[in-house]
Amino acid sequence: MKKISYIIIVGIFFACNNDAKNNTDQHLDKDHSHHETIVLNAKQLSVNEYEIGKPSFESFGKGIKTTGIVDLPPSNRHIVSNYLPGYAKKINVIVGDHVKKGQVLAIIEDPAILELQEKYAKAESKREYLEQEYQRRSKLFDEKIVSKKDFLEAKSDFKSIEAEANSLKEQLLLINLSPKRVLDGKLSRNYPIHAPANGIISSVNITTGEWVGNNKPLLSIVDPEHIHLELQVFEQDIKDVKPGQQINFGLHGNVERPFKAHIYLVGAEVKSDRRVIVHAHPDSLLTNLTIGAYVDGIIKLTADTLLALPNTAVTTLGEKTYALRVVDSKNGGFHFEKIPIQIIRQNDEFVAIDQKWKTDEFLLNGVFDLVKDEGSFGGHSH
């Protein structure tokens, strides 16, 4: 009986010893994997489209942050009005339509238009008669047959009707009616509203059948050919801003700044909010930017070429930034270690790092997904 008890006790002792050893081994493995390396096999690399590579040399520019709007100079904004009141018989455009200079935008109709043409036809007829009478009296005056008074009276009558006829003619031209057609007896009870320039209809303020006076804007046209940026720069930064400098910009709130512009004018006045207006021209016509849209930008001052990793190759945990450096590769798989990285400079795409890493290989994307918490990795392959 004592012998059996002894065997049981010895068995339990060894079993406990083995359990303790196994627990210790597991603990050591866990600590090693959490703090040292992560392994990705070839399949994991392929499925997740992970990329591995060395740091590259990239351009990092020092710049000034700026905000503003997409704008147009006053000469490229057109308000279309009618010169004579009437009813809007027809409207040919809607907001967003592209129009050409001279295109008919609307038709205005009113009996007063006929009266204007009638006045012009009568004035021209009378002008022709009085011109002949003036020439006749001028000749008689030179021959001393008529008095100077009669001559001056004929001259005054002719000059008066000539001015009236010219005035009426100009009024017809303002409403795009042909004076020649009027003199040929071809009168019209309406007149067209023409586009004053190429552009895009930005507003339509009338409806068909509406009475429109001669003091109401009918439509608005903007010409995006001369689109520019009206930006604001803080007073303390304006000393570094000069015409010709490049600006990278994008729509307000977007991280990316895909568009480029160059400064062509720096304002000379500091506004009440301690900012200065800066005007810039985009490098290309930007049809996908709306007039009045808010933009953010960086005015590039200088550029340095530094060793860098993509932003996707690093992640910040607490107060430190980490990257996954390749320490070994076997059978298409890779072993990585998490190392702290000092960021020297950063832009929208890259982080500049120390030159000592230029020969090492790193995981270039997906680091944030793999490193979950400080001091641990989110995925392992054994």
Alpha carbon distance 180, 186 (integer Å): 9
Contact call for residues 281 and 262 (beta carbons, < 8 A): yes
Q: Mean pLDDT in each 10-residue stretch from start to end of the chain (382 residues)?
A: 38 39 36 60 87 90 87 90 92 94 95 94 93 90 87 91 94 93 93 94 93 87 88 91 90 78 91 91 77 88 87 89 91 88 88 94 89 49 42
CA distances from 163 to 123, 168, 169, 182, 349 (A): 9, 9, 10, 18, 70
- Domain 77-222 falls under CATH 3.40.980.10: no
| Protein fold of 62-74+224-303 | Elongation Factor Tu (Ef-tu); domain 3 (2.40.30)
The average confidence (pLDDT) of the chain is 84
Using DSSP, state whether 320 is helix, strand or coil. Answer: strand
Q: State pLDDT tens for residues 332-349.
A: 889 999 999 999 988 878
- Return the domain boundaries, the chain: 62-74+224-303, 77-222
Alpha carbon distance 241, 269 (integer Å): 14
pTM of the prediction? Answer: 0.57
Q: State pLDDT tens for residues 83-131.
A: 889 999 999 999 999 999 999 999 999 999 999 999 999 999 999 999 9
Token readout for 105 is: 């935008």
Token readout for 154 is: 């004929």
What's the burial of 233, exposed, middle or buried (CB within 10 Å: 0-12/13-18/19+)? buried
pLDDT of residue 212: 92
